[in-house]
Amino acid sequence: MRRKEMTMDSKVMRRLSYGLYVLTAKDKDSDNGCIINTAMQVTSGPDRISITVNKQNRTHDMVRASGKFNVSMISREASFDLFKTFGFQSGKNVNKFETFKDCDRAANGVLYISGQTNGFLSGSVIREIDLGTHTLFIADVTDGKVLSESPSVTYEYYQKNIKPAPEKKKTGYVCRICGYIYEGEPLPEDFICPWCRHGAADFEKL
């Protein structure tokens, strides 16, 4: 039998459904958080979740070092500002909690996001797997709280209802992940999105 060359449409990967969450962690003297779309329950009894975090995020290093984190589930009441605060800047350059006050400290000592979210979970890492660009953490759920009845935001809902539409008539490339626009031609192959840290493969021509 002749095998066809693999010509997978990369768009098919976007048929997977994701939620959006603020992952928070801390070190000795500071707090940080970032947006992730990779949190899920992996077992119940005991309740365990997994998260996957880009190694370039400062929060990643904090989770690795402390073994503790919170995941706050973003609700449909969230504004684009929440995504800008936690998704489009790096904790390596700014203190994201300097001006952001919709937060509280959970029993594990880590902040969680108390507004624009509908709940949070505290995780205690029991295993980590190196995935190259990311680390997969598996954690026991040690605490959690329902914060509102507003439905959770999915990645699709964010793209359709929260993310501002890209401006028309610009030439360049738009980041499919966060909406950042690179103006110019061509897009450098090694380009990294300054907002969400995804690479050139996640950009499409305007």
Least spacing, CB of residue 97 vs Fe ion, in Å: 22
- Interacting residue with Fe ion among 97, 113, 175, 203 (CB under 5 A): 175
Least spacing, CB of residue 177 vs Fe ion, in Å: 4
- Interacting residue with Fe ion among 21, 97, 137, 180 (CB under 5 A): 180
Enter the DSSP assignment of 199. Answer: B
- A 10 A CB-CB count for 154 gives 16
Q: Does 121 bind Fe ion (CB under 5 A)?
A: no
Q: Does 88 bind Fe ion (CB under 5 A)?
A: no
Structure tokens at 106: 């959970």
Comparison of 125 and 187: residue with beta carbon closer to Fe ion? 187
Span from 22-30, 112-120, 156-164, 196-204 in contact with Fe ion (CB under 5 A): 196-204
Cα–chain center distance at 74: 11
3-state secondary structure 123-180: EEEEEEEECCCEEEEEEEEEEEEECCCCCECEHHHHHHHHCCCCCCCCCEEEECCCCC
Least spacing, CB of residue 167 vs Fe ion, in Å: 16
Enter the DSSP assignment of 200. Answer: G
Q: Does 71 bind Fe ion (CB under 5 A)?
A: no
Least spacing, CB of residue 178 vs Fe ion, in Å: 3
Q: Does 193 bind Fe ion (CB under 5 A)?
A: yes
The answer to whether 30 touches 95, Cβ cutoff 8 Å, is: yes
Total number of residues binding Fe ion (CB under 5 A)? 7
